[in-house]
């Protein structure tokens, strides 16, 4: 362990309006070390990164770089000072239509003292120096748009490293890479570590974290909830600190089901993943939990017909079920409240009434002419049922709070009877009372269908489900009846490692 | 490259300000009724300033002048609804006109064949546009721009760039002896009695019928509703079970067919296949549809607004003509009206709501 931190953050705060996102963060980064930052969605990771990289202004606290005060006003200032960030979206870091050489030297094309004329020979010479320094084996004349994602990533990182940073922040760099591509990235990170760069590595992937981490810092609700730096690292402890249980009041009476609604056998949703087999019963609420990127949404989309499985069969109420589109799934009684309502759920130009009726227009029309009275009655009934706070069913969606918007999305799909009701991250961006309302409604109406939730937060699963399944690496790795859950085993399964707490 | 009408502040996730009853402010009134007031003001002004502006004949003349662009504008409205755009409508119309003339004059066929050929051309162009945009992933403006150039050229090939009229000499030296059938010409020249004998031209009736049809289709059928959903949030519409690709292609087919109907009316009015006519159709139609966004504060493409938009432009031009404004000021005035309407739609109504 190195005593003095290169980069030190203390008491960092940030609020947006009345909403406090960071509540006093302390974080040390040491030269030649990879510090992994873990945190669920909304924990404040990206806000932290944006403050450090000069995108946001901090609300309070201090940051020091090599003993000196560090307060960047713009991303360019942060980079000049030696703190370089490679953002999650690879294409933000490169210009697709230019060649690799120009991309690598892009930051030297503007600013003071730069010659007006563009000299291709000089650019290529400088680019070659940058590429050699980090062992980048890519044709410098290739256009970035012709490169694979991994190569683009390498270019983006190389471009960042051309500044000789003291601190490098990698924000979920492997989220769109294959495992072979990720290996190249890891080799690069190893080399940078040897060169003495302090690296902050943000990731959800346990395999990445096991491979790279020297230290782990877990964040939860805007504060550091755990720091782990004694080897061997306590991965389960880190996951627990990130997802861990808050005290929750309502204990669930877990039910079990007599009649199977959906049976899945040998379903494979990704290359190289182990097949999934499971049964969902009538009246049962099942939650599938797991970290971001383990295939929860992929499974939800496969069940809903917008993604094809690689192998396997599904049986719905005794009949084969192989939906080829969302329309097929809906016709078979499979409804999905999709993740991220703003991009996949809400029709911005429509009011509440029209958002609710959207999937069932055919059932609400006569010879294709809409029965507007039925539409309005349905919307009113659903507003009443879910307790949506609004003036009337004619309200625009943008007038509603996040929780109420989500209630509209749930109300949309509860307007008709489902055989299988799937909700992908239904509690994201939803306040606690709306979350309770939705969960209670789901449980109260569960009879006559199977209900399947996909949630990252353990609390949400524990609060709503009869049965909890754990997903990791695109397959189901564990199952728990929500009566007396062995939390240690569950967390170990989420963390994806071998169970060693028994020893 | 698509027109953004997902307004009303899609600021989701943030806390809305929906609590409490909100009265309509002066600005809300301005946004909602501004354009209608402007329209009535314009009529009142011309009624005082221009002699003979207020008369049935003048009204019919205005309707007749906007009939063809109105039909085209209603078609392009369908593509705007699904979040697209169709720049090929003007050239579809002129191609249909040339085809009608060719079918009757050169091939010596009757009116029914000519009309069917025109409609097929419109549908086919719409299908190709839709296919390019949906399956070939060409951006809508570029795909339909390309189609526009293609058609402008294509319609001149059969006659080597000449206009088509009875008695013309064909490229191979023969003389075309066919002629426009009376039934076809009636589409452009017959007038129905309406209180006053021989008042309302067929084209105006066609415009009104199509306007009501497309309005009903967009507002009251599930297909229209889904088209709006596709235009507002494609992914959400898809996850609600809509065949999004089919809806988009259909929108371009509607646009193509409407444009070809406009072409039929144009051919019937001119009585020849005039290579030089129809230059203004595209811009006038697009202006009418975009002005339509501002009508009643809709802030989205809509059939009623499009019809009012077309009427607005027609009244303005008729009034200016009757006041002896020079012809070359007309395009300028149209442009000013369009820009003002767009400000109404995007700047005023985009903010302050939501």
pLDDT digits (tens, 9 = 90+) for B212-224: 999 999 999 999 9
How far does A201 lie from chain B, in Å, by closest CA? 28
Higher-confidence residue of A256 and B135: namely: B135
Place of tokens 């193509």: B256
Strand (E) or helix (H) holding B339 = helix B330-342
Higher-confidence residue of A468 and B346: namely: A468
In chain B, what residues touch A304 (CB-CB under 8 Å)?
Answer: 239
Any CB–CB contact under 8 A between B13 and chain A?
yes
Q: Is the pLDDT of residue A53 over 80?
A: yes
Residue A414: pLDDT band by 50, 70, 90 thresholds? very high
Q: What is the pLDDT of residue B14?
A: 34
Residues 6+ apart with CB under 8 A from B142: B1
The 8 Å CB, 24+ separation contacts for B118-121 are B118/B260, B118/B261, B118/B263, B118/B264, B118/B267, B119/B257, B119/B260, B119/B261, B119/B264, B121/B92, B121/B95, B121/B96, B121/B256, B121/B260
Nearest residue in chain B measured CA to CA from A337: B239
Q: String of b and e for A322-353 (b: at least 16 CB within 10 Å)?
A: ebeebbbbbebbbbbbbbbbbebbbbbbbbbb
Any CB–CB contact under 8 A between B229 and chain A?
yes
Cα-based distances in Å from B179 to A213, A243, B169: 85, 82, 14
Q: How many CB atoms lie within 10 A of CB A91?
A: 13
B140 Cα distance to chain centroid: 17
Cross-chain CB nearest to B12 (options A327, A341, A391): A341
The span from the CA of A415 to the CA of A29, in Å, is: 52
Contact, A496 vs A254, CB < 8 A?
no
Residue A283: pLDDT band by 50, 70, 90 thresholds? very high
CB-based contact A326 B238, cutoff 8 Å: yes
In chain B, what residues touch A325 (CB-CB under 8 Å)?
Answer: 241, 243
Planar angle of CA B331, B337, B342, nearest 5 degrees? 125
Is B180 part of a structural domain of the chain? yes
Is B77 part of a structural domain of the chain? yes
Contact, A420 vs B33, CB < 8 A?
no
Contact, B247 vs B78, CB < 8 A?
no
The span from the CA of A132 to the CA of A135, in Å, is: 5
Residue A350: pLDDT band by 50, 70, 90 thresholds? very high
In this structure, which CATH number among 3.30.1330.90, 3.30.1950.10, 3.40.50.300, 1.10.3720.10 belongs to the domain A260-333+419-437+449-496? 3.40.50.300
Q: What tens-digit pLDDT sequence spans chain B (354 residues)? A: 444 444 333 333 333 333 334 566 777 787 788 888 888 998 899 889 888 888 888 888 888 889 999 999 999 999 999 999 999 999 999 999 999 999 999 999 999 999 999 999 999 999 999 999 999 999 999 999 999 999 999 999 988 888 998 888 888 888 888 899 999 999 988 888 888 888 889 999 999 999 999 999 999 999 999 999 999 999 999 999 999 999 999 999 999 999 999 999 999 999 999 988 888 899 889 999 998 888 887 888 999 999 999 998 888 888 888 888 888 888 888 888 888 888 877 776 554 333
Place of tokens 């144009």: B266
Q: What is the pLDDT of residue A141?
A: 84
Is B26 part of a structural domain of the chain? no
Q: What is the mean pLDDT of residues A394-407?
A: 88
pLDDT digits (tens, 9 = 90+) for A170-213: 888 877 676 677 787 888 889 888 888 899 998 877 778 888 88
Confidence (pTM): 0.80
In chain B, what residues touch A348 (CB-CB under 8 Å)?
Answer: 6-8, 10, 232-233
Provide DSSP, B52-115.
T-SSHHHHHHHHHHHHHHHHHHHHHHHHHHTT---S-HHHHHHHHHHHHHIIIIIS---HHHHH
List every span in chain A annotated with CATH 3.40.50.300.
7-243, 260-333+419-437+449-496
Closest residue by Cα to residue A125 from A156, A104, A147, A97? A104
Q: What is the pLDDT of residue A499?
A: 44
Q: What is the pLDDT of residue B39?
A: 87
Is B134 part of a structural domain of the chain? yes
Contact, A193 vs A32, CB < 8 A?
yes
Cross-chain CB nearest to A358 (options B12, B15, B240): B240
Cross-chain CB nearest to B220 (options A359, A362, A369): A369
Classify strands B196-201 and A198-202 as parallel, antiparallel or unpaired: unpaired
Any CB–CB contact under 8 A between B35 and chain A?
no
Q: Is the pLDDT of residue A326 over 90?
A: yes
Q: What is the pLDDT of residue B212?
A: 96
Mutate to test the interface with B, among A323, A326, A354 (most CBs of B within 10 A): A326
Contact, A37 vs A242, CB < 8 A?
no
Query: Could you give the residue ranges of the DSSP H alpha helices within A296-399?
Result: 296-303, 326-331, 341-344, 352-357, 372-386
Domain count, chain B: 1
In chain B, what residues touch A398 (CB-CB under 8 Å)?
Answer: 8-12, 16, 353-354
Mean pLDDT computed over every residue of chain A: 85
The span from the CA of A86 to the CA of A171, in Å, is: 6
Closest residue by Cα to residue B156 from B101, B234, B84, B233? B101
Q: How many CB atoms lie within 10 A of CB B29?
A: 12
Range of the domain at B309: 33-348
Tokens of B19: 């609590």
Any CB–CB contact under 8 A between A323 and chain B?
no
ipTM of the complex model: 0.85
Mutate to test the interface with A, among B12, B297, B353 (most CBs of A within 10 A): B12
Tokens of A419: 């055989």
Handedness of CA B219, B222, B223, B226 (dihedral sign): positive
CB-based contact B16 A325, cutoff 8 Å: no
Cα-based distances in Å from A101 to A47, A60, A106, B151: 32, 40, 8, 43
Closest residue by Cα to residue B155 from B65, B69, B266? B266
Q: What is the pLDDT of residue A496?
A: 76
Q: Is the pLDDT of residue A444 over 50?
A: yes
Residue A407: pLDDT band by 50, 70, 90 thresholds? very high
How far does A141 lie from chain B, in Å, by closest CA? 27
Nearest residue in chain A measured CA to CA from B223: A368
Interface list for A 357-396 with B (CB within 8 A): 358-359, 361-362, 364-365, 368-370, 372, 389-391, 395-396
Strand (E) or helix (H) holding B284 = helix B281-291
CB-based contact A348 B10, cutoff 8 Å: yes
CB-based contact B241 A401, cutoff 8 Å: no
In chain A, what residues touch B16 (CB-CB under 8 Å)?
Answer: 398-401, 404
The span from the CA of B168 to the CA of A294, in Å, is: 73
CATH topology of domain A7-243: Rossmann fold (3.40.50)
Q: How many residues does chain A have?
A: 503
- Strand, helix or coil at A214? coil
Is B291 part of a structural domain of the chain? yes
How far does A339 lie from chain B, in Å, by closest CA? 11
Q: Is the pLDDT of residue A130 over 90?
A: no
- Strand, helix or coil at B324? coil
Closest residue by Cα to residue B255 from B128, B126, B146? B126
Cross-chain CB nearest to A349 (options B12, B16, B228): B228
In chain B, what residues touch A391 (CB-CB under 8 Å)?
Answer: 18, 21
Q: Is the pLDDT of residue A488 over 60?
A: yes
Mutate to test the interface with B, among A356, A358, A390, A418 (most CBs of B within 10 A): A358
Q: What is the pLDDT of residue A497?
A: 58
Contact, B35 vs B310, CB < 8 A?
no
Q: Is the pLDDT of residue A104 over 50?
A: yes
Any CB–CB contact under 8 A between A343 and chain B?
yes
The span from the CA of B40 to the CA of B45, in Å, is: 8
Q: What is the mean pLDDT of residues A406-427?
A: 95
Is B5 part of a structural domain of the chain? no
Classify strands A450-455 and A285-289 as parallel, antiparallel or unpaired: parallel
Phi, psi (deg, nearest 5) at residue B307: -65, -45
The 8-class DSSP code of residue B345 comes to I
What percent of chain A has a predicted confidence (pLDDT) above 70?
A: 93
Beta strands in A66-220 (DSSP E): 68-69, 83-86, 167-171, 198-202, 215-220
The span from the CA of A183 to the CA of B28, in Å, is: 58
The span from the CA of B308 to the CA of B292, in Å, is: 7
Cis peptide upstream of residue A378 (ω within 30 degrees of 0): no
Any CB–CB contact under 8 A between B234 and chain A?
no
Any CB–CB contact under 8 A between B243 and chain A?
yes
Q: Is the pLDDT of residue A465 over 50?
A: yes
Beta strands in B184-228 (DSSP E): 191-194, 196-201
Q: What is the pLDDT of residue A102?
A: 84
Classify strands A420-424 and A215-220 as parallel, antiparallel or unpaired: unpaired
Q: What is the mean pLDDT of residues A433-443?
A: 87
Contact, A422 vs A323, CB < 8 A?
no
């Amino acid at each position: 362990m190195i005593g003095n931190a290169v980069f030190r953050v203390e008491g960092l705060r940030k609020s947006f309006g009345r909403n406090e996102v960071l509540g006093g963060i302390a974080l040390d980064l040491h030269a030649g070390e990879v510090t992994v930052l873990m945190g669920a969605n909304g924990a404040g990771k990206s806000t932290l990164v944006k403050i450090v990289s000069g995108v946001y202004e901090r609300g309070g606290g201090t940051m020091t770089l090599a003993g000196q005060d560090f307060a960047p006003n713009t991303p360019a200032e942060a980079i000049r000072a030696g703190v370089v960030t490679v953002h999650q979206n690879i294409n933000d870091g490169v210009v697709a239509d230019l060649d690799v050489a120009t991309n690598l030297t892009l930051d030297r094309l503007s600013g003071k003292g730069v010659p007006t004329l563009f000299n291709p020979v000089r650019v290529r010479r400088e680019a070659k120096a940058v590429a050699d320094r980090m062992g980048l084996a890519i044709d410098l004349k290739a256009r970035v748009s012709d490169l694979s994602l991994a190569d683009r990533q390498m270019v983006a990182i190389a471009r960042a490293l051309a500044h000789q940073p003291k601190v490098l922040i990698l924000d979920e760099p492997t989220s769109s890479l294959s495992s072979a591509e990720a290996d190249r990235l890891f080799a690069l990170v190893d080399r940078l570590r040897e060169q003495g760069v302090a690296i902050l590595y943000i990731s959800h992937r346990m395999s990445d974290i096991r491979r790279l981490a020297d230290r782990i810092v877990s964040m939860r609700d805007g504060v550091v909830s755990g720091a782990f730096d004694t080897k061997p690292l306590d991965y389960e402890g880190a996951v627990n600190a990130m997802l861990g249980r808050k005290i929750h009041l309502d204990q669930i009476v877990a039910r079990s089901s007599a009649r199977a609604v959906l049976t899945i056998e040998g379903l494979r949703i990704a290359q190289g993943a182990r097949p999934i087999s499971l049964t969902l019963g009538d009246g049962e609420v099942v939650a599938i939990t797991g970290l971001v990127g383990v295939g929860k949404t992929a499974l939800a989309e496969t069940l809903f017909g917008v993604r094809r499985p690689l192998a396997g069969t599904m049986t719905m109420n005794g009949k084969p079920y192989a939906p080829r589109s969302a329309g097929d799934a809906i016709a078979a009684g499979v409804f999905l409240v999709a993740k991220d309502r703003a991009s996949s759920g809400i029709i911005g130009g429509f009011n509440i009434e029209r958002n609710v009726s959207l999937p069932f227009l055919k059932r609400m029309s006569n010879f294709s002419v809409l029965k507007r009275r039925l539409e309005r009655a349905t919307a009113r009934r659903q507003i009443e049922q879910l307790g949506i706070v609004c003036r009337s069913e004619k309200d625009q969606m943008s007038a509603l709070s996040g929780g109420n918007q989500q209630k509209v999305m749930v109300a949309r799909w509860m307007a008709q009877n489902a055989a299988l009701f799937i909700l992908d991250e239904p509690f994201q961006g939803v306040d606690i009372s709306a979350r309770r309302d939705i969960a209670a409604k789901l449980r109260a109406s569960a009879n006559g269908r199977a209900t399947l939730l996909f949630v990252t937060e353990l609390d949400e699963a524990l609060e709503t489900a009869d049965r909890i399944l754990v997903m990791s690496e695109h397959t189901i790795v564990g199952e728990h009846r929500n009566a007396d859950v062995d939390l240690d085993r569950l967390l170990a399964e989420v963390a994806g490692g071998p169970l060693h707490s028994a020893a | 490259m698509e027109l953004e009408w997902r307004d009303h502040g899609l600021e989701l996730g943030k806390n809305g300000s929906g609590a409490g009853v909100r009265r309509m402010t002066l600005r809300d009134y301005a946004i909602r009724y501004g354009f209608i007031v402007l329209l009535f003001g314009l009529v009142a002004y011309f009624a005082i300033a221009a002699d003979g502006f207020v008369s049935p004949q003048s009204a019919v003349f205005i309707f007749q002048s906007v009939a063809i662009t109105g039909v085209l504008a209603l078609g392009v409205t369908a593509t705007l609804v699904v979040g697209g755009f169709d720049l090929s409508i003007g050239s579809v119309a002129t191609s249909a006109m040339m085809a009608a003339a060719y079918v009757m004059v050169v091939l010596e066929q009757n009116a029914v064949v000519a009309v069917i050929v025109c409609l097929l051309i419109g549908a086919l162009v719409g299908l190709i546009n839709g296919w390019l945009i949906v399956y070939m992933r060409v951006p809508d403006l570029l795909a339909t721009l390309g189609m526009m150039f293609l058609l402008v050229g294509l319609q001149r090939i059969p006659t080597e760039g000449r206009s088509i009229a009875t008695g013309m000499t064909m490229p191979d030296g023969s003389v075309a002896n066919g002629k426009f059938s009376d039934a076809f010409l009636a589409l452009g020249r017959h007038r129905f009695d309406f209180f006053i004998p021989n008042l309302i031209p067929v084209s105006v009736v066609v415009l009104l019928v199509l306007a009501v049809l497309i309005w009903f289709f967009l507002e009251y059928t599930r297909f229209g509703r889904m088209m709006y959903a596709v235009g507002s949030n494609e992914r959400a519409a898809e996850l609600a079970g809509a065949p999004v690709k089919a809806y988009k292609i259909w929108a371009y087919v509607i646009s193509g067919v409407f444009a070809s109907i406009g072409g039929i009316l144009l051919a019937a009015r001119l009585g020849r296949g005039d290579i030089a006519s129809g230059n203004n159709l595209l811009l006038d139609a697009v202006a009418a549809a975009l002005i339509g966004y501002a009508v009643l504060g809709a802030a989205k493409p809509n059939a009623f607004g499009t019809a009012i938009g077309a009427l607005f432009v027609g009244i303005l031009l008729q009034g200016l003509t009757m006041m002896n404004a020079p012809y070359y000021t007309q395009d300028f005035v149209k442009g000013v009206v369009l820009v003002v309407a767009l400000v109404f739609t995007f700047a005023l109504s985009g903010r302050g709501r939501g």
